[in-house]
Structure 1
């Protein structure tokens, strides 16, 4: 529910990292800004079909999913359910429809056997789109900056997840908290990190994603940081996170 914490960066780099270690991945972009789509090398302005068509049940996931040639060439390709500005209209249209919170879940059921992981990039608000994501997910990865306001936002998110779990999706849980944009030179960040580990224990991922300019540069080239500069500290951290996610996914 907080903007600017790296949800999209986390999604595209985890997708690329998982693909690189041999997992079959589908990435679903549920944000009308379409940043995850563009950051995966797909031009949102040229999409013939998008996740909007999936939610309105005018097309299936198999018909809508695409791959990025850039990622195929890099050897870490994953399927993409792209989004663009059309998706903002779905928000209004879904309100009056039946099964409005479960449309994505129903659509994904048909292709679940095709993938080891389905990653859903949600918008930074508790909207009908976010609810569709939470209703079909088995778990939530929470990217967190180690700052005071992030702790407050986390409390709100945990309450939201509890409500969705109680009313709409009994399978929903927190998979883990991912510390992102971490700067080891700042004392406060270490203090908040320790607070997180004390409060959430094994729910905190071992991997820490450092603040890294190469990760920030990658979207302007239309590729995840893992592909843009594989040797960078940020890319290496996301590859470690992908490995950790495979292990935790099996337990989860």
Structure 2
């Protein structure tokens, strides 16, 4: 049974793309079949996996979504790239900006991405969507397609207002489009444990949101090595396997995996009881 996870935060610079890469490859290392979807017109996820000129790719997510909107046929594996570390990728590029504009006038505009994902997700255990740093139509499409959301939050600055906006958007999508949507949790990233400031932010986040939603036990440390992985086109596990960031992402991957296993068991038991 496949699980679709959107990684979302309308604020940029939260480590969302780095988290998508390392969670996805971490799950693949654990034996899962994983598809990463770059739903950001900046193409950062695509770039981070070694495709350094995403705008020059002949087929991207924009191509597939355009065909979906126009009800044109496409191959089941069309545009899917294979990364050396065991994950598949649907690349994103600047053409998604035009798609976002086109979606405004499209029938069932919030569910175009879901329509596409539903045709391929049964081949994967996990589908991870790296969202745009905005609450625009592409992000709404990702939330409509997802089973759950992970919210990376930078520990340097606690965007309480931004978190509130995102949580309101998720609640609205749940009410109007996707009633099964849940929040897996909030992930603190770029945590500098040498400072009291980072510890204060961790405390405030857990105090203010801990009773409403899960705050992952794992915190991703500030790491130059993790930042370098984007230029290398590799995960932290290959670039710096013994480093603090690799250990943190391994622990985070296990938390996400445990959540997925519990949800699968519940769904299985519900199916039996019916």
- TM-score normalised by structure 1 residue count: 0.92
Secondary structure in structure 2 of the residue aligned to 1:111: helix
Please give the alpha-carbon distance, in whole angstroms, between the structure 2 residues aligned to 1:222 and 1:98. 37
In structure 2, relative to structure 1, the CA distance for the partners of 1:109 and 1:183 (3 Å cut) is same
* Cα shift at 1:41: 2.0
Secondary structure of the structure 2 residue equivalent to 1:83: coil
CA contact (8 A) 1:31 1:87 kept: yes
Deviation at 1:151, TM superposition (A): 2.4
Q: Per-residue deviation at 1:60?
A: 4.9
Matched, 1:120 2:135: no
Q: Deviations over 1:136-174 (max 9, x none)?
A: 001110111235542232112111111111111111121
Q: Which runs of 5+ in 1 are unaligned?
A: none
Pair 1:64-2:76 in alignment: no
Cross-structure match for 2:248:
237
Q: 1:251 aligns with which of 237, 259, 262?
A: 262
Match for 2:200 among 186, 191, 203?
A: 191
Q: 1:98 aligns with which of 59, 84, 107?
A: 107
Structure 2 matches for 1:59-208, cutoff 5 A?
59-60=74-75, 62-68=77-83, 71=84, 76-198=85-207, 199-201=209-211, 203-208=214-219
Q: Structure 1: how far apart are the matches of 2:190 and 2:178?
A: 31
Of the candidates 28, 31, 45, which is equivalent to residue 22 of structure 1?
31
Superposition deviation, residue 189 in structure 1 = 1.7
**Contact 1:67–1:78 (CA under 8 A) maintained in structure 2:** yes
TM-score normalized by structure 2? 0.85
Q: How many residues align structurally?
A: 246
How far, CA to CA, are the matches of 2:90 and 2:76 in structure 1? 7
| CA contact 2:158–2:201 (8 Å) conserved in 1 | no
Alignment check: 8 A CA contact 2:80 2:91 kept:
yes
Q: How does 1:207-226 map to 2 (within 5 A)?
A: 207-226=218-237
Query: For each residue in 1:184-234, what CA deviation from the matched residue of structure 2 results, as whole angstroms up to 9, or x when unmatched?
Result: 122122122122223325601111100000010111112222222212211
Q: Indicate how the Cα distance of structure 1 residues 195 and 170 shifts in structure 2: closer, same or farther if over 3 A, else same.
A: same
Q: Give yes or no for the alignment of 1:50 onto 2:60.
A: yes
* Structure 2: tracts of 5 or more residues without a match: 1-9, 264-274
